[in-house]
Structures are given as C-alpha cells and as structure tokens.
Structure 1
C-alpha cells in the first residue's frame, strides 16, 4: 500500500523525536535539516555578514533561532514561530553515586512538572552534554547512550500503604538502580568512558534520562502517535516543517523559527524565552540588512509571533476536567489557546492572524479554554510578547498524557499543524 502524507509526516515526527533525547540533540537534529537546505551557522561572538539574501541560524545551548531573508529592507517585519526544546524528565544530580540495601544507585531529580509515576519501571538511557577540559580550554561534548542502563523500580503493592498506588517523594523515590554491590560505582567515570575522555577532564554536565521505547504509530487504524517528549517536540518538528516550506516563498515578512530551552522551569535563563536571545537575533538581522535601531523598532511593530506548544485534548476518562463548551479532539486540527488571565498570550489580533492562516491552509481550527476552577499552565507566549512587543498567539496540537514519560497525539494533527504554521509564516500582507 502507498504511504499516505499523514503517515509519512507522522513517521517523520517519530524519527525526529527518537533522534532528539535532549534539548541539545533537538538543536543538532534541526541544524542538520537546516544545513541540508543551505543554512549556515553564525556565532553570536563574531560579526554577522551583510550579504543580501541569506539563510542562517544560531545555537545557544539548547536553544536555536533560524531565519531566511530575501530582498527585504531593514524595516521588514517578522513572522515568528516559537517552540521549546525541553521536556519534563529525571536529571542526574551533581553527586550521583549512591548505595542502598546492596544496590548501586544513580541519584536523579525531577526536571519540570514530570508525572513521576510514568517514569517507573522503564528502561532509561542517558543524554545531554558535558564540559570537557582540553588543555586550557573547555569544549562541549554531546552524549547519547541508548542502552537500558537505568531503571527506577516501583514499590510492590504488598509493601505499599496505599494499595491504589504509592505517593512518590521526589527526593527519595526516583533514584535509579544500575547495579548491585556494596561499593559505589562512578557514574561520571562511566559516562566519560563513553566519549573516550579521562574522567578528570569532565568539568561539568547536564545529563538527563530518556525512555528507550521507540516512538510509533498506534491504534486500530494507526492514526495515533505514541512517543516521549511530544510536549514540545511535536511543535519543534511541525515548526521546522513549516519553516522549511516557507523559506522559498516567504510572503511579506521574514520567517523566523525560535526554539527555546528551559520552558518547563520558567524560561528564566541565558537561553530561555525570558532571555535576550530572540530580541538580539532579530535586531542583528535588521542590522545585517543595513537597518538601524529605528528600523528594528518599526520591524517589531509589524511583526507577529505564534507561540507553539502542545494543547490538552479532552480526556475520555476524565471529561469533567475540561471546560464543557470547549471540547478538543485529536485529529481535529490545530488548537488556539485563550486565557483571560494571560497564562496564554492570545488576544484578538493574534487570534485573527492564526485563524486566517488555518483558513488559508484549509485546516480546521479548535479553540481551547481551561476550566476556570483549575490552575492553567503557561508557555513562552506571554514572555515573548513582553520581551518583543509583538502580538502573540498561543497555539498547539492536541494530545493526552502531557508531562508523562509517554504521550499520545493524533497522526493527522501533525501535517495539519505544520500546514497552519507554514501559512502563518507566509502572510500576503503584514501589519497589525
């Protein structure tokens, strides 16, 4: 049987996720796709070229910003698709080597709002980056161990105070077993050996666990995607596909893809959405087009951002946890997210821009409102709007099991989400 566009795009998402176990690997995966389309990396520490039409990207840690310019003036506005590269998980502590009851353990701690029970009894690999001494310099090395070296074991039901399941203490109950014995095993030495460096050369690390079960299409008709890190690699993938579709015919604005680390812990870092990363990159794009500060401010005034993150589909076993008048279906199209208390940045102007993009792409649009009696999550939208002054719309694709080690979305939502974002990036006219 021929492979449908939906199946091929959803399979592409699965491959993207499996190649990208950490934010640093997301950036590497995206950079590879960009370079295959003629993009070149730029260093923030060096002057940027003024070379007319260009395709460039910058990486800052686990964040990446890419853009494509044609024959635009310095004051040309931007269309930005934003996403985040990080996902909730269990991360390695700075002194990870532990012993307990004859077991060798690796000390882990939760990152972001991880659903801890979902991480139990899974075969876990390790990925991230290390700072390695090279003479009098420090080099960055990425690492990815796709082997079942760690496991966080569940407590047997016979030993639990609550036969319905244990309540996990993030300090005591999420350490991983990786061996048996009464002598400590050096985890950092093990990791150093995998990149063939002396353990004494390892000066720092950001290491995290990832579920080793491959992403795949599931369900009776294989119309669902089961994968880790859909929040928010589902948007990273769809945003990349949209960006690559937009660069050959960018319309009336400069298309920009901005992917930030640290959203799951508040975005307040050197490379999070609250940092200067996006504003400084946008200003340097204007400067490279022979524009000045006034041109930059004028460009921002005509720009719009779509902050992409995943959205809550209505859960079939918990429909009462959702706003009754705003049911969200998987395979029902992209989701426009609105919150009157600005946990989402969407206003009428941003909503209009994205709704028009969905209409132009020929995909349905769903509108999400959180229950007023439940606390609402947030994303990079409000802080991006505040940092740049752009009208910003928060959007996403519907999914179940958000923040679980394993999440679920509709296969048909992958191409429709990408199509809507592509239409958003290529407006026929600009302006608020």
Structure 2
C-alpha cells in the first residue's frame, strides 16, 4: 500500500497536467491506458469481458471509466463514483482582442462562481481545445496548453485607490481583461486566432490553415506545493474538483478485478455552471451507459436498485479566521478525514442510509470521517449528487475532502485527506453488498 506522501506526489503531477477539463480527461485517459483499460466508441458495438476495464469520452471533457464485474449488473449492481472536471476560471471570448493604451488584452467571461480577487497579479497561461481547418478544408480538434506565463491582470495601485482594502466591487467586463503584450492599434500580427494558429504549428500541427473556434481558459502557472511547517497542507489550483477526479481514478484502478459488481467512475464537465449540458451530470451520458450495460428496461431498473453512487466534491473546512461561518457542531477540520455532506433541503443527496453506509466504509478502511451541515441561516451549495439521484433514481451519498479557499485561483487541502478518501473509496468499490437489513 502506498503512503500518503507518494499519493500526493501523483496528485500534484496530475494537477499540473490537468490545466483545463480537456487536459484533465487526456491525463486520465493516459493513466487508464497504462492500466490496460480500453477506449470504446459509443457508435460501435461493444463486447465486454468480465474483469476488463473500459472507458468512453464525450465532448473531450467528460469521461466514464469502469471495470466490468464478474456478474451481470442487474444481479450485482454498479459501485459508482462521481466527480467533475471543471473549475471556476476565466474563459477567452470568441472575439477577444482588445487593443488600448498600448496593450493587447483578451476579453474573458467568468466561468462558474469564481473568487475574482485572487486572479490579479498572477502569472497566467492558456489551455483547452482548439478547432481548425486544414488546407483541404477538413475540421480538426487539438488540445493546446501553452504552459508558459503569457498574461497578467495587474492590480490598480493602492495610491490610485486608497479605499481598495475596504472592499472594491470587481466589474469583470472592465477589470478582468488579461494583458498579453504591448501593442498598437491595427497590428495584423496580433489577431488572436492567428496567434493560436502559430502556437498550434509550434506544437506539431503543421497542417493548420485557419483556426475556426476554441474553448480556452486562463490558469495560474504556479505549481502545486506542500506547505506548512510540517507540510500539513497541499495548495494548488483546481483542487475543486480535480482532486476528486484523481482520487476516484486511483480508487478504481486499485480495485480487485475479481469482484462481482461493476465499478465505475464518471467525471462530468459543467458542474460549476449547473450541469445542464449534453456532457454534464444533468445530461444523458451516465444514464445511457448504464442502460447499455443493463441490456433492457427491467434489467436497468434492477441495476439501479442494487447500486450506489458516492458523489465526491470538496467540502468547506473550518477556517480559523472565520469560525463563525460554520455551524459550531459541523465545522470539518483539515486532515481529520473525508466529510459526509448533509442538507435537509436536498442540496446534497445524502440520506441516513447512505451516510451510514459510507461511515462503514471509512471504519473498514481505518480512516476518520466527519459530517458537514451548513449554518441554518446560510444558503447551501450543491453538487452533481442530487442531479444524479433525481435523473437516475439511484442512492447517493455526497462526500468530499475539507478545503480552504474554495473557488479561489489557489485552494488548500490537508496532505492526509485525499489519501484517507481514496482508501475509503477502495473499500466501497470492493464491497460485496449494499443491502441494509
């Protein structure tokens, strides 16, 4: 069994690779290929073998991987893990160029509920998907990750805004365009699509004729790090929710191929903006795959009744500077184990039954666990858990590791908690029965 230290090194490497949802899926695909999983196309006939691993991708940004169980899914059910590949960020607009006052800037849209202040004065790069035509007029898709710092959003000096530390509203249209370089008006070399074409050619796509469109996001180039006097913490961008993607993937790959039940990981895009898309959790991706594995409607219904999803998304850790923001009996602590998330109004899908089941997996894995309930006088966020429970009618428990700075450009978790959660999920995936007597 690997140690938490070794686990964290793999996690940090993944976070460095997964700079945007498409890059996250590419990194997971690489890991799955190394483990002997086979990529399947949804428009082909499948011949699945017990004990073998498979995965499918939709839209380049959502992925489902599973290991086929020894028994039919209608007899043993599916042990499911859910996470999401997207994080709040700044996405480049289609007509992005802004040349003013001697600077070339790119206009951006705010994706998801981002904390905006931490984006100022960061060394930013670009990653995502680009679609282009070749010289024959054929359409291609390429992944692009520039890796190097190429932009910044400079703060306004406090001398020019003496009230800055008393709180300033950030107008994203006015204050968030990213500065790329010095420039003058009407410089033909500074058309963004032309820059993309040159970057693609440098990356090996020599056949690029014209960039048609793209989905690109800025990201902070500062690498993940273990911090704290005793390295108690792990700080990085995109911990919400790439940490859960990595944890789920490692738990899936560590499982026993001989178990009766099929074990599955689904990582959807678009959770941060409501999941309502063809590749989001509210879309048909997971349902269509489960129906395909089941065979017919009666078998599909039996499959759901025998199944459970653990929806993994990070939880709000008790902040030492803001303890009043938590219910005094439900403030999860860093490095005190995974958090079971509960909400009476179904913002989380956890029930008493599913909470008790997950507590049992933690006990068997010999890891601590905690429970989170938001203050009664505050609103509660949500996850893909309630969406999946509503769409499929399957049992769900919402869990996650506790973190600080959620939706910041740089977030913090405990250096033990991801490893704790992985061990609990391994027990869940290898469990023989989900029955409650």
TM-score for both structures, normalised by structure 2: 0.94
Q: Distance in 2 between matches of 1:153 and 1:159?
A: 13
Q: Distance in 1 between matches of 2:141 and 2:313?
A: 28
Report the equivalent of 2:327.
Answer: 323
CA displacement 1:369-404 (0-9 Å, x = unmatched): 011111111110000001111110100000000000
Partner of residue 337 from structure 1, selected from 330, 334, 341: 341
Report the equivalent of 2:71.
Answer: 72
Q: Distance in 2 between matches of 1:18 and 1:390?
A: 34
1:4-403 to 2 correspondences below 5 Å: 5-61=3-59, 62-75=61-74, 76-134=76-134, 135-160=136-161, 162-164=163-165, 165-183=167-185, 184=187, 185-196=190-201, 201-250=210-259, 252-287=260-295, 292-403=296-407
Q: Distance in 2 between matches of 1:283 and 1:55?
A: 18
1:50, CA displacement in angstroms? 4.1
* 3-state SS in 2 of match to 1:239: helix
CA displacement 1:68-89 (0-9 Å, x = unmatched): 1132124130010000000001
Q: Distance in 2 between matches of 1:331 and 1:97?
A: 44
* 3-state SS in 2 of match to 1:201: strand
Q: Please tell me whether the aligned partners of residues 253 and 430 of structure 1 are also in contact (alpha carbons under 8 angstroms).
A: no
User: CA separation of 1:303/1:115 partners in 2, compared to 1, >3 Å: closer, same or farther?
Assistant: same
* 3-state SS in 2 of match to 1:154: coil
* 3-state SS in 2 of match to 1:257: strand
Q: Distance in 2 between matches of 1:7 and 1:371?
A: 34
CA displacement 1:24-73 (0-9 Å, x = unmatched): 11111111111111101011122222444431000112110011113212
Q: Distance in 2 between matches of 1:371 and 1:100?
A: 46
Q: Distance in 1 between matches of 2:290 and 2:137?
A: 34
Q: For structure 2, list consecutive stretches of 5 or more residues without a partner in the other structure.
A: none
* 3-state SS in 2 of match to 1:171: helix
Q: For structure 1, list consecutive stretches of 5 or more residues without a partner in the other structure.
A: none
TM-score for both structures, normalised by structure 1: 0.95
Q: Please tell me whether the aligned partners of residues 315 and 403 of structure 2 are also in contact (alpha carbons under 8 angstroms).
A: yes
Q: Distance in 1 between matches of 2:375 and 2:192?
A: 44
Q: Distance in 1 between matches of 2:269 and 2:414?
A: 25
Q: Distance in 2 between matches of 1:423 and 1:208?
A: 36
1:167, CA displacement in angstroms? 2.0
Q: CA RMSD of the aligned region, Å?
A: 1.6
Q: Which moves more between the two structures, 46-55 or 387-396?
A: 46-55
* 3-state SS in 1 of match to 2:242: helix
The alignment covers a number of residue pairs equal to 425
Q: Distance in 2 between matches of 1:133 and 1:365?
A: 52
Q: Please tell me whether the aligned partners of residues 118 and 408 of structure 2 are also in contact (alpha carbons under 8 angstroms).
A: yes
